[in-house]
Amino acid sequence: MADQTELSSPPFDSVSQVRFSPTNPDQLLVSAWDTTVRFYDVATNEQKAKFDHRAAVLTCCFSDDTHAYSGGLDTGVRELDLASEKVTHLGQHSNSVSSMNYSRELNTLVTGSWDQTLRFWDPRASTAEQSTHTLPERVYHTDLVNNTLVVAMASRLFHIYDVRKMDMPAQQRESSLKYMTRSLACMADGQGYAIGSVEGRIGVEYFDPSPEAQEKKYAFKCHRQTVEEVDHVWPVNALAFHPVHNTFASAGSDGTVSIWDHKVKKRLRQYPKYAAPIPSIAFNCDGTRLAVGVSYTWDDGEEGAKSAERPTVFVKKTGDEVKPRQG
């Protein structure tokens, strides 16, 4: 397809996360189960740096154009200098690091872990770990918009925090979906978030607790297919909001990516199917590109792994399909 590029030098094992720079539309990080974080320039399709870890990397993020962070099964939190390839060990959780976000307002890295904590880090301080916040369950996903942090946990629990006031959550919610939370993304306009479950459903939620705002929340079925009268249902592995238009993309183990307009509750586009499940997607900072990680996601266990292809990462140019429908 002319509108997408396949990145050279992809990881050797499943992609865990794709993440674009907050300021440079061509800079992409890819973390993977092959124990690496790779740093790409997508404009020239070059791998600029590769960082090796002791175990699978589950999550990564940028703070600026020259610094990134990573975490995963070895429980450590690392700062990656993208220019010099120097790695600084900031500290660690007591179990796998499952998610991370960088607050540019606070110059703080926020990490979540299966050890049931959130930790805040200041990479410039002599002791990087600034605070620890204990949670009722394992952290699966976090996302941050402005100063609002959403934490998706095991047992379908959600906490919503103001990152400037972490002594208690601003709101505690239960998932609007019946099954385990597999994905989370905050709206670009800061009004709410979307969640995806392992059972082919997406929920759209709003932060404002007023009854008027809560009436707008809804859930819908997706990433499903009927084959010979049998309903097949796949996990919604990843969600990403467009930074300009606030529409959102969803990706599933069915190998499809769809674009949705939650304001009018309609699908705008389904892209042609990829050859394997999609564990992670991300829009770049100006919304002109969508990164799509394509790799086996263990939905079929060991058996499926035997026939899995090498992972690939595609970078797709976006068009009118990401714009909300007029009228």
Rg for the chain (alpha carbons), in Å? Answer: 19
268-305 pLDDT, tens digit per residue, is 999 999 999 999 999 999 999 999 999 977 666 777 66
User: Is the model's pLDDT at 327 over the cut of 60?
Assistant: no
CA dist 232 and 250 (Å) reads: 17
pLDDT per residue as tens digits for the range 197-245: 999 999 999 999 999 999 999 999 999 998 888 989 999 999 999 999 9
pLDDT at position 199: 96
- Written as one letter, the residue type at 156 is R
- Mean pLDDT taken over the chain: 95
**Do residues 111 and 97 lie in contact, with contact meaning Cβ atoms separated by under 8 Å?**
yes
Q: Are 297 and 236 in contact (CB under 8 A)?
A: no
Where do we find the tokens 């394997």? 276
pLDDT at residue 309, rounded to an integer: 79
Distance of alpha carbon 64 from alpha carbon 307, whole angstroms = 38
Residue 118 has pLDDT above 80, yes or no: yes
Q: What residue has token string 């084959």?
A: 227
Looking at residue 308, its pLDDT comes to 67
**SS3 letters across the chain:** CCCEEECCCCCCCCEEEEEECCCCCCEEEEEECCCEEEEEECCCCEEEEEEECCCCEEEEEECCCCEEEEEECCCEEEEEECCCCCEEEEEECCCCEEEEEEECCCCEEEEEECCCEEEEECCCCCCCEEEEEECCCCEEEEEEECCEEEEEEHHHEEEEEECCECCCCCEEEECCCCCCEEEEEECCCCCEEEEEECCCEEEEEECCCCHHHHCCCEEEECCEEEECCEEEECCEEEEEECCCCCCEEEEECCCCEEEEECCCCEEEEECCCCCCCCCEEEECCCCCEEEEEECCCCCCHHHHHHCCCCCEEEEEECCHHHCCCCC
Interatomic CA distance for residues 77 and 63, integer angstroms = 14
- Residue range 60-85: mean pLDDT, rounded: 97
175-176-177-180 Cα dihedral, nearest 10 degrees:
0
What global pTM score does this model have? 0.96
What local confidence, expressed as pLDDT, does residue 296 receive? 78
Span 159-171, average pLDDT:
97
Residue 307 has pLDDT above 90, yes or no: no
Find residue 39's DSSP bridge partners: 29, 49
pLDDT band at 2 (very low <50, low <70, confident <90, very high): low
Q: In the predicted model, what is the mean pLDDT of residues 82-105?
A: 97
Higher pLDDT, 39 or 302: 39
Tell me how far CA of residue 230 lies from CA of 145, 159, 301, in angstroms: 40, 37, 21
Lowest mean pLDDT among 32-36, 185-189, 294-298: 294-298
**Contacting residues for 157 by C-beta, under 8 A, at least 6 apart:** 136, 137, 172, 173, 174, 175
- pLDDT for position 298: 67
Nearest to 166 by CA among 181, 154, 183, 151: 151
Mean pLDDT (whole number) for 245-250: 98
In this prediction, residue 305 carries a pLDDT of 65
* pLDDT for residue 325: 85
In the chain, pLDDT over 90 holds for what percent of residues?
Answer: 92
145-151 mean pLDDT = 98
